[in-house]
Amino acid sequence: MESIHEIVPFAREMLRQRPSRAMVRVYVLGSLLALVGLAIGLVETVCETFSRAEPPDEDLARFIARERRRLEKREEESAEGWESSAAMEAGAASKQGVTAAPRNSANRLHAS
């Protein structure tokens, strides 16, 4: 059953076949569990929006701040590393006087 519209025809079909009491109990129990799951999901969805507004506890806030500082520090170090390595490569290339030549298409390695 993929939608709520299939429940009514299913119930009519089941009543036409006159199932045993045990089968009716199984179907009712399954339906009740499905409805309880649906209700829990709805309550969780509604409560989730309000729980995000609560401020985190102190330990968690300190941990998050510490991790942010650590990530910012790493990003700054990596940015400085890239800038210094790019400057060193530019200086080395200018000292050597080598110019970039276009690639020769005859040296391509592929199956023909």
Do 14 and 5 meet the contact criterion of CB atoms below 8 Å apart? Answer: no
* Sequence spans of domains, the chain: 1-54, 56-92
Do 56 and 64 meet the contact criterion of CB atoms below 8 Å apart? Answer: yes
pLDDT at 48: 80
Distance in angstroms (rounded) separating the CA atoms of residues 36 and 26: 15
Structure confidence by residue, pLDDT tens digits, 57-72: 788 888 889 999 999 9
Structure confidence by residue, pLDDT tens digits, 2-42: 677 887 888 888 888 888 888 889 988 998 999 999 999 99
- Report the predicted TM-score, pTM, of the whole model to 2 decimal places: 0.37
